[in-house]
Amino acid sequence: QKEVEQDPGPLSVPEGAIVSLNCTYSNSAFQYFMWYRQYSRKGPELLMYTYSSGNKEDGRFTAQVDKSSKYISLFIRDSQPSDSATYLCAMDKGNKLVFGAGTILRVKS
């Protein structure tokens, strides 16, 4: 079993929809949780990070962590075609990050 599990998708939604992307993890020692966005043929770029449980909002993006369930989510409001990308979650393990396999998101106009 991988330490971080993520549904690969693809997830297809119409423009303007609310998108929910999720990861589950098995290591209760994880404390920092990140979301990266990766466009096709590009490197991942950091979207948001959160520490421990709770919510964090940045514009149309909200990251949510539920440590008791070992479950994290990224919500995208008013999704746009430009949000079409692969979204990877990542968690801290010592001085490195463990990544999920990514969820492909397609927002149709």
Partner 1 sequence: DTAVSQTPKYLVTQMGNDKSIKCEQNLGHDTMYWYKQDSKKFLKIMFSYNNKELIINETVPNRFSPKSPDKAHLNLHINSLELGDSAVYFCASSPSSTSVANTGELFFGEGSRLTVL
Binding site for partner 1 (CB under 8 A): 8, 32, 34, 36, 38, 41-46, 49, 51, 86, 88, 90, 92-97, 99, 101-102, 104
Residue 59 C-beta: closest distance to partner 1, Å: 17
Residue 60 C-beta: closest distance to partner 1, Å: 19
For the residues of 14-68, what is the DSSP string, one character each?
Answer: ETT--EEEEEEES-TT--EEEEEEE-TTS--EEEEEEESSEEEEETTEEEEEETT
Is 11 or 101 the residue whose CB approaches partner 1 more closely?
101
Which token pair is 30? 């994880």
Is 50 or 79 the residue whose CB approaches partner 1 more closely?
50
Compute, in degrees rounded to 10, the torsion defined by CA atoms 59, 72, 23, 78.
-30
Residue 34 C-beta: closest distance to partner 1, Å: 3
